[in-house]
Amino acid sequence: MGVERAASTEPEADPIEYFLQDLRYHGRSERTREAYGRVLRTFADFLADRSTAGGRLAPVDAGQRECMAWVHSLRDAHSRSTVATYASYLHRFYRYMAQAGVFESNPMELVVSEMDETIEKNPSRREITLPAMRSFAQDVSHPLDRAVILTLLKTGMRVGECCNLDLRDCALSGEWASETYDLGSRAGLDNRPDSLLVASDVARDQVTNGEERTASNKRRRTTVIPVDDELRAALVRWLAVRPDARSVAEPLFCSTGGEWGKRLTPPMTRKLVEGHARTAGWYRTGGGAEENVTPHYFRHFFTTHLRDRTGDRGVVKYLRGDVAEDVIDTYTHNWGDRVREVYEANIYRLL
């Protein structure tokens, strides 16, 4: 059952429902909205309990200390990573409501900034070494599978963002690729060869570039990600055998199976990754996120390794699409000299 309860809701009457409805308007999936709904209702119940919050409060009245108390109450029953996830949901709720002018401020701002320094990554998550991941990537021989897996591993993009890439979002140097396909026609890729553009304005169930999309890009700002020589070679190899697409949008990745020529979707991509992960012994039916290797695991792998190698959280946040205005100001105005230089100097080799 979904979290939506009414056709429309006034923010003052039920701010949580108002927020959940806006998530739907922004193209968030039902699964995502249900997850937010569960967490936010749990927080509201906590505030309403006199024995925990010290008084019957509504979310609009909660302050930093009430938020901190709720986060602390989660620690006995949940893992560190789950606590961090739930806190991020509440942070996004308050940040959005403050930006929308419904709430005066975001009491989670300081709470989350402190948690960034104290909450560790999930210690039970499978840890794969770079040599092991390199061996895994080298065993993937199918041109589509290799191109998709290397794109995920070398860019850290979400599975939906990968599936939403069109030929116009992919700029590759070299005569063969540019003469065979109309690549990199986006204005944002001007003078940025060997790059992928991940737009921030692609939403589920909305038409982009002439095609209704089945997934949303969840970036706060459009991001241009460098393509190194390994990923470029994999993409060129894929384009050499890519079937004619069944969409005027000309998706970069399309099916070579039963849905021949159709844009690759997140379920298709997860199935693709699952097959290779099972072969490697990294996926088990019934296994959880701490055990199974999925496209989201590749985002985790990218973030962890690139952050450790660069020591530059700003560049990694920019590449992931988790950017604030100060990061944009620092890195996009000097994209060629800073982001690409740091990326190419530190991105791991897989082939």
Which residues, in sequence order, are bridge partners of residue 142? none
Structure tokens at 90: 């509440």
- What is the share, in percent, of the chain residues with pLDDT greater than 90? 48
Check if 15-118 and 130-346 are the same fold: no
Residues in Cβ contact with 245 at an 8 Å cutoff, skipping those fewer than 6 apart: 251, 254, 261, 262, 263
**How many H helices and E strands in the chain?**
16, 5
d(CA 60, CA 191): 47
Second-level CATH architecture of 130-346: Orthogonal Bundle (1.10)
Domain boundaries, the chain: 15-118, 130-346
d(CA 322, CA 6): 32
d(CA 112, CA 270): 30
pLDDT score of 123:
47
d(CA 142, CA 147): 8
Q: Are 326 and 230 in contact (CB under 8 A)?
A: no
> Within 10 Å of residue 277's Cβ, how many Cβ atoms?
21
Residues in Cβ contact with 138 at an 8 Å cutoff, skipping those fewer than 6 apart: 350, 351
Structure tokens at 174: 């070299």
The DSSP-derived string for 6-32 is: SS---TTT-HHHHHHHHHHHTT--HHH
pLDDT in tens, the chain (351 residues): 344 444 455 666 789 999 999 888 888 788 888 989 999 999 999 998 877 655 678 899 888 888 988 998 888 887 777 788 888 899 999 999 988 888 888 999 888 877 753 444 454 678 899 999 999 999 999 999 999 999 999 999 999 999 999 999 999 988 777 778 889 999 989 888 899 999 999 999 999 999 999 999 988 888 999 999 999 999 999 999 999 999 999 999 999 999 999 999 999 999 999 999 999 999 988 887 778 999 999 998 998 888 888 877 778 888 888 765 555 555 555 655 678 888 999 999 999
d(CA 77, CA 72): 10
pLDDT score of 348:
94
Q: Has this prediction a pTM greater than 0.75?
A: no
- The angle at the Cα of 168, spanning 266 to 225, to the nearest 5 degrees, equals 70
pLDDT score of 179:
77
Second-level CATH architecture of 15-118: Orthogonal Bundle (1.10)
